[in-house]
């Protein structure tokens, strides 16, 4: 029986200005259903690349390795198929879509995945009810639904908007790429609570972060340290404090 998410020997590179650059160098990672794992690591260790490769961004070329997601070959799927299958990526830098109304975008996205999942589409009235309630829980003003997607949003508003989308799209697996960066303490708590509300035996998550603060709110089942394109160390939730105290030096030395 295959695992919920099983990443094995994953290598990926990007073509940067005509030069092939190896970024992932043999990532092995297993996430069982219902578990929240965190990835920590120095800048440039490949954390964001891993999230992009899992979500299907085409700029990255997978050179070897495999990823199975709920028994399916994830790497064979288009980005929108991965979304329909339950994968959600909360972007580190959410993208602006000028002229595209936020509520309409959300509804289009929700109905696209509902269609693909064989569920009935939500009509405008039901959708608005759901989205307004979800936005309120995240402390977002109703005005943000009327604005254009992420256009003129503050850093904190953008991150809340990501969590709002995640809440509505009901993923079975969410990747949060530094969702805590740029958030003040209050916003961090609200966002963390949004993630916690989703926790269930049917929901797994991979939380990418630099700080242990987020992990105080969302206590992970496992923490992995990533460096130079590989997972070099894994442990329980207590690892966060250790990293906070001692940094990555020790792990880097061990790996070398």
Partner 1 sequence: MPAVTETREAVEKLGLSSYKWGFETDIDMDVAPKGLNEDIVRLISARKEEPEWMLEWRLAAFRSWLQMKEPEWAKVSHPPIDYQDAHYYAAPKKKPGPKSLEEVDPELLRTYEKLGIPLHEQAMLAGVEVPEGEQARMPVAVDAVFDSVSVVTTFRKTLEEAGVIFCPISEAIKEHPELVKKYLGTVVPVGDNFFSALNSAVFTDGSFVYVPEGVRCPMELSTYFRINSRNTGQFERTLIIVEDRASVSYLEGCTAPMRDENQLHAAVVELVAMEDASIKYSTVQNWYPGDENGRGGIYNFVTKRGACRGARSKISWTQVETGSAITWKYPSCILQGEGSVGEFYSVAVTNNHQQADTGTKMIHIGKNTRSTIIAKTISAGNSDSTYRGLVRVQPKASGARNFTQCDSLLIGDQCGAHTVPYIECRNAQARIEHEATTSKISEDQLFYCRQRGLSEEDSVGLIVNGFCRDVLKELPMEFAVEAQKLLQISLEGSVG
Residues that bind partner 1 (CB under 8 A): 55-59, 78-80, 82-84, 88-89, 91, 94-101, 104-105, 107-113, 116, 121, 123-124, 148, 165, 169
Least separation in angstroms between residue 97's CB and partner 1 is 6
Q: Which is nearest to 95 in space by CA: 173, 169, 177, 13? A: 177
Q: Which residues of 192-224 are buried (b: 16+ CB within 10 A; e: fewer)?
A: bebbeebeeeebbbbbbbeebbbbeebebebbb
Q: Which is nearer to partner 1, 116 or 133 (CB)?
A: 116
Would you call 83 helix, strand, or coil by DSSP?
helix
Q: Which is nearer to partner 1, 16 or 124 (CB)?
A: 124
Least separation in angstroms between residue 3's CB and partner 1 is 23
DSSP state of 76: G
Q: Which is nearer to partner 1, 76 or 123 (CB)?
A: 123
Least separation in angstroms between residue 81's CB and partner 1 is 9
The alpha-carbon radius of gyration of the chain (Å, integer) is 18
Tokens read off for 25: 């160098």
Q: Which is nearer to partner 1, 39 or 169 (CB)?
A: 169
Least separation in angstroms between residue 108's CB and partner 1 is 5
Burial of 60 (C-beta count, 10 Å sphere; 0-12/13-18/19+): middle
Centre a 10 Å sphere on the Cβ of residue 96 and count the other Cβ atoms it contains. 13
Q: Which is nearer to partner 1, 41 or 86 (CB)?
A: 86
Least separation in angstroms between residue 210's CB and partner 1 is 22
Least separation in angstroms between residue 137's CB and partner 1 is 20
Give the sign of the dihedral formed by CA 75, CA 35, CA 86, CA 224: negative
Q: Which is nearer to partner 1, 114 or 228 (CB)?
A: 114
- Distances in Å between the Cα of 96 and the Cα atoms of 3, 14, 79, 93, 180 are 35, 24, 19, 9, 19
């Amino acid at each position: 029986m295959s695992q919920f998410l099983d990443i094995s020997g994953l290598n990926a590179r990007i073509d940067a200005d005509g030069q092939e650059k190896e970024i992932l160098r043999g990532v092995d990672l297993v996430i069982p259903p219902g578990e929240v794992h965190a990835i920590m690591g120095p800048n440039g260790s490949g954390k964001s690349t891993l999230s992009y490769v899992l979500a299907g961004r085409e700029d990255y070329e997978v050179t070897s390795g495999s990823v199975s997601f709920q028994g399916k070959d994830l790497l064979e799927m288009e980005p929108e198929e991965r979304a329909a299958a339950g994968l959600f990526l909360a972007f580190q830098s959410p993208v602006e879509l000028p002229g595209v109304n936020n509520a309409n975008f959300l509804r289009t996205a929700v109905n696209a995945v509902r269609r693909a999942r064989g569920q009935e589409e939500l009509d405008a009235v039901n959708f608005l009810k759901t989205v307004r309630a979800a936005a309120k829980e995240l402390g977002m003003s109703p005005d943000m639904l009327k604005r254009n997607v992420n256009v003129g949003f503050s850093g904190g508003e953008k991150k809340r908007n990501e969590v709002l989308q995640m809440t509505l799209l009901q993923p079975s697996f969410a990747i949060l790429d530094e969702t805590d960066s740029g958030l003040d303490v209050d916003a961090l708590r609200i966002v963390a609570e949004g993630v916690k509300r989703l926790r269930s035996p049917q929901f797994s998550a991979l939380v990418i972060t630099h700080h242990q603060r987020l992990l105080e709110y969302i206590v992970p089942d496992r923490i992995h340290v990533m460096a130079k394109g590989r997972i070099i160390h894994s442990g329980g939730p207590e690892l966060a404090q250790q990293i906070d105290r001692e940094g990555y030096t020790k792990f880097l030395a061990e790996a070398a």
